[in-house]
Chain A
């Protein structure tokens, strides 16, 4: 019987072979279909292997060591329950994206730029989750970043994409630098890079704190934690839509896997004040992400900023886990971590679905700008249904899955008055308020996204003549939509599946949910709080049907179509309806005046003058202006001045070498 790790590595090797094949078979007609089918098949194969592994009770650990990489260690690969869960997330996303790509890839103008890197990207993400020593981890992480960068620059002639790719490259390198430092600190002077060695070693608290900070910066920048999120809304929309889905829905989760693996598994020395940092960052990220998303009128950029918000929610859950763990409240820590991991799964599902929908809209109309769309619910019928399910799921509406993970996070917050530290006592209610605020704003954001794009009347000819996309893309979207509904109705299954993960990391788990009646979930104790998604769905469906039947039987069922009422005013045309900016205006005025320094100016011509009025909104990104622009300027300044070193005479160079030699000798002389 082949070990699980071996089978998984075989699958990953298959993905590499596919990538090479894409290079060799470039510019042929059938290559697109071949590559995406291969990627789909391999992702499903990996999913099956992981699924088989998960069914083994008690949870097993499978390791493999290959004689590549660093000579004295080799490359270690390991699959345990945490890796298994994240592999499910990665490969589910990969399979869905490949299925979507089978349909969407036909419209790609430069397939030879996409196809080699796509399977390589999938392979890189799988390898990061499988890696069991620092070198393999970092190598796979960089490989993942570079392949996704290559996918971002596919459409390099579009003006913004080169800048997006540049910012992405800088931030990714910065992230890898911090991870390198973190692993260096963890491995220590003996160079014990294997994760087993790091797990066994004892880490003094200052070191653990430093490593946690470095991980927050490194993994957080890849996940999209404020203020390191700036590359995300630039790079994610620039890539082709199925790659955007992978980057937003899956790659950010791989970053979270890195954080969980290092902080909870390798370090395992939680301190309560580090949980405060994580909680504060998570809360700020959640609120800022959704406020940024509300200001956007580019559909894909809105989705990318919204990813930032969901990452904030996941980090809130992880911060709560750290706080509970530091205070020996294992059952509450299990609840918080289950909430965070459930949200990881949910987000990968519905964010991929939404990006697929945005890709379908882009294919059908050629537009990403919501201000030029509208009325697509009549033209793209099936896409609209799938996108609506995605919007409802992400807005945390019962009985879909987004609500369950949010409900679990709130239950975890309600356990926190038992935490003794004062800082936490003040921070946790504030973070709870931030979470509630961002959940409500997310619903507003997606009413805007769906309402302006799909509802109303078409605002441009492209939107008026859109055609429905092909069946494979639709299939991918509906599979994800079905999974969202299933996860919302059967949350007990997911919670029970996550129990081995929390058991391995925290030595605690939530109570078994499978035994509850009516598919209810009970996070702490029956009678304290419970929720049954299935029953809520049944109630809603039954009451709606009951009323529909009663009305159609006993009251009228006549219907007549007529011009829109509009309070009796004559219709001016589709230009009179609300645009994305106008929808966001009340919220921009309430929140944006402070957070973005949003200012509106209106220039009205005097009465009798026929020239149009002018309305201007200025919004500033304070994080970019306050943090990145000064850093970029100082680097520029230093570079310009250091550039003078390029143009020295030979004598000057010789004097520099001479001075360096003399300094070294001096140091050698003085050093005790």
Chain B
């Protein structure tokens, strides 16, 4: 009982510790591909500490919602990220919420962030919030259809059960899973505000979506929101890893050696994913905003096609 609690706590601490590292790796690889030296890999940690120590400057007409939102966004994203199996499945509280609840938790974070964008009453916040909700209105159903596909293949919406099924030899090379993987990558890019959907390092207002919503934040509030964004990226990478590359995942209660092996393979998967994301971002240009709806519409169609194929092929 105590061991299980410690392992669950360990996972929650692990995701918290590794999230800025993933962001640092992506930035470093991107810089190297652009023939720059780039900031050190541990720079995001330093950025967070610096921001935490600074005084927070907020607008005169900011409401209590503006001040509470960073904590809410961080808490919901952290809870969601802690539910995704990283080195072991079947942890103590993994049955509290399944994939659908996970998506809804991320939707809560986005809801409050969009509201915070509207709070100050400048045009930038409005731009960010309205575009973010348009992107979400297509990305969330696409994600839900991907969840349907996985749930129909594995017979459950619980992440541990799905991960366990994907590790077993019963799953073959299925077309629906391939379509679901492509759709999941597209949704992950959109949700994490990566090129080609949004530029995470832009300062031009017409190209901002996520940056526009958090424009008025500073100090510790900005630190929490940036941390939450890194956690979200880690969540999506862990999700893709545990669903489609589950090798190295152990079951809960497997012993310390198995946990250590799981942690090492997880770290390796993170580094590989970070490198591939950086490569992808460098080789493609950002889409204009109303092309994003076509992009996510395509992800939605792929999810629908994958679900349809599973519905239809059951009878064969």
Do A and B have CB atoms closer than 8 angstroms in the complex?
yes
Q: Is A207 an interface residue (CB 8 A)?
A: no
Most buried by A among B57, B96, B119: B96
Q: Is B118 an interface residue (CB 8 A)?
A: yes
The A-contacting residues of B in range 74-88, CB under 8 angstroms, are: 74-76, 78-79, 82
Quick check: A555 and B215 within 8 Å, CB to CB? no
Quick check: B157 and A414 within 8 Å, CB to CB? yes
Quick check: B127 and A560 within 8 Å, CB to CB? no
Quick check: A455 and B161 within 8 Å, CB to CB? no
Whole-angstrom distance between the Cβ of B123 and the nearest chain A Cβ: 5
Q: CB within 8 A of A559: which of B55, B121, B136, B205?
A: B55
Nearest B residue to A376, CB-CB: B63
Nearest A residue to B143, CB-CB: A436
Quick check: A583 and B130 within 8 Å, CB to CB? yes
Whole-angstrom distance between the Cβ of A487 and the nearest chain B Cβ: 16
The A-contacting residues of B in range 191-210, CB under 8 angstroms, are: 205
With A396-B104, A520-B95 given, is the CB distance from A440 to B314 under 8 Å? no
Quick check: B118 and A529 within 8 Å, CB to CB? no
Quick check: A414 and B65 within 8 Å, CB to CB? no
Most buried by A among B82, B117, B120: B120
Quick check: A547 and B71 within 8 Å, CB to CB? yes
With A425-B312, A548-B71, A582-B130 given, is the CB distance from A543 to B118 under 8 Å? no
Q: Is B274 an interface residue (CB 8 A)?
A: no
Whole-angstrom distance between the Cβ of B187 and the nearest chain A Cβ: 12
Nearest B residue to A410, CB-CB: B100
Residues of the B chain whose Cβ atoms lie less than 8 Å from the Cβ of A456: 118-121
Q: Is A124 an interface residue (CB 8 A)?
A: no
The A-contacting residues of B in range 102-145, CB under 8 angstroms, are: 104-105, 107-108, 110-111, 114-115, 117-127, 129-131, 133-134, 136-141, 144-145
Quick check: A584 and B156 within 8 Å, CB to CB? no
Q: Is B279 an interface residue (CB 8 A)?
A: no
| Distance in angstroms between the alpha carbons of A397 and B110 in the assembled complex | 10
Quick check: A547 and B57 within 8 Å, CB to CB? no
Residues of the A chain whose Cβ atoms lie less than 8 Å from the Cβ of B138: 437, 440, 590
Quick check: B118 and A564 within 8 Å, CB to CB? no
The B-contacting residues of A in range 97-113, CB under 8 angstroms, are: none
Contact with B along A213-243 (1 / 0, CB 8 A): 0000000000000000000000000000000
| Distance in angstroms between the alpha carbons of A20 and B311 in the assembled complex | 59
Quick check: B60 and A561 within 8 Å, CB to CB? yes
| Distance in angstroms between the alpha carbons of A396 and B104 in the assembled complex | 7
With A432-B307, A544-B71 given, is the CB distance from A567 to B119 under 8 Å? no
Residues of the A chain whose Cβ atoms lie less than 8 Å from the Cβ of B61: 375, 378, 457, 564
Residues of the B chain whose Cβ atoms lie less than 8 Å from the Cβ of A672: none
Quick check: B145 and A436 within 8 Å, CB to CB? yes
Quick check: B118 and A540 within 8 Å, CB to CB? no
Residues of the B chain whose Cβ atoms lie less than 8 Å from the Cβ of A574: 121
Quick check: B108 and A392 within 8 Å, CB to CB? yes
Quick check: A429 and B311 within 8 Å, CB to CB? yes
Residues of the A chain whose Cβ atoms lie less than 8 Å from the Cβ of B312: 425-426
Contact with A along B302-313 (1 / 0, CB 8 A): 011001101110
| Distance in angstroms between the alpha carbons of A536 and B79 in the assembled complex | 8
Q: Is B59 an interface residue (CB 8 A)?
A: yes
| Distance in angstroms between the alpha carbons of A526 and B158 in the assembled complex | 10
Of the candidate stretches B24-32, B39-47, B147-155, B240-248, the one touching chain A is B147-155
Quick check: A527 and B119 within 8 Å, CB to CB? no
Q: Is A403 an interface residue (CB 8 A)?
A: yes
Residues of the B chain whose Cβ atoms lie less than 8 Å from the Cβ of A451: 114-115, 117-119, 129
Tally of A-B residue pairs with Cβ under 8 A? 287
Quick check: B148 and A413 within 8 Å, CB to CB? yes
Q: Is B280 an interface residue (CB 8 A)?
A: no
Whole-angstrom distance between the Cβ of A565 and the nearest chain B Cβ: 5
Q: Is B18 an interface residue (CB 8 A)?
A: no
Quick check: B54 and A556 within 8 Å, CB to CB? yes
Quick check: B293 and A429 within 8 Å, CB to CB? no
Nearest A residue to B217, CB-CB: A565
Chief secondary structure at chain B's binding surface = helix
With A417-B314, A437-B137, A444-B133 given, is the CB distance from A529 to B63 under 8 Å? no
Most buried by A among B74, B100, B114, B148: B100
Q: Is A634 an interface residue (CB 8 A)?
A: no
Q: Is A535 an interface residue (CB 8 A)?
A: yes
Quick check: B53 and A563 within 8 Å, CB to CB? no
| Distance in angstroms between the alpha carbons of A414 and B61 in the assembled complex | 46
| Distance in angstroms between the alpha carbons of A450 and B134 in the assembled complex | 16
Residues of the B chain whose Cβ atoms lie less than 8 Å from the Cβ of A398: 97, 101, 104-105, 108
Residues of the B chain whose Cβ atoms lie less than 8 Å from the Cβ of A447: 111, 114-115, 118, 129, 133
| Distance in angstroms between the alpha carbons of A520 and B71 in the assembled complex | 26
Whole-angstrom distance between the Cβ of B100 and the nearest chain A Cβ: 6
| Distance in angstroms between the alpha carbons of A359 and B54 in the assembled complex | 42
Whole-angstrom distance between the Cβ of B13 and the nearest chain A Cβ: 12
Quick check: B52 and A587 within 8 Å, CB to CB? no
Residues of the B chain whose Cβ atoms lie less than 8 Å from the Cβ of A426: 308, 311-312
With A398-B108, A548-B71, A562-B60 given, is the CB distance from A578 to B140 under 8 Å? no
Quick check: A590 and B290 within 8 Å, CB to CB? yes
Q: Is A611 an interface residue (CB 8 A)?
A: no
The B-contacting residues of A in range 441-476, CB under 8 angstroms, are: 441, 443-444, 447-448, 450-452, 455-457
Quick check: B145 and A530 within 8 Å, CB to CB? no
Quick check: A432 and B145 within 8 Å, CB to CB? yes
The B-contacting residues of A in range 390-437, CB under 8 angstroms, are: 392, 395-398, 403, 407, 410-411, 413-414, 416-418, 420, 425-426, 428-430, 432-433, 436-437
Whole-angstrom distance between the Cβ of A401 and the nearest chain B Cβ: 13
Quick check: B148 and A555 within 8 Å, CB to CB? no
Nearest A residue to B134, CB-CB: A586
With A396-B104, A539-B79 given, is the CB distance from A578 to B118 under 8 Å? yes
| Distance in angstroms between the alpha carbons of A398 and B98 in the assembled complex | 12
Residues of the B chain whose Cβ atoms lie less than 8 Å from the Cβ of A548: 71
Q: CB within 8 A of A564: which of B75, B114, B126, B216?
A: B216
Most buried by B among A450, A456, A571: A456
| Distance in angstroms between the alpha carbons of A41 and B136 in the assembled complex | 45
Quick check: A377 and B123 within 8 Å, CB to CB? no
With A375-B121, A528-B155 given, is the CB distance from A578 to B311 under 8 Å? no
Give 13 A-B contacts (CB < 8 Å), ordered by A residue: A420-B315, A439-B140, A443-B140, A531-B97, A544-B74, A555-B52, A564-B61, A564-B121, A582-B130, A583-B118, A586-B133, A586-B293, A590-B290
5 A-B pairs closest in CB distance: A578-B126, A451-B118, A456-B121, A436-B141, A586-B134
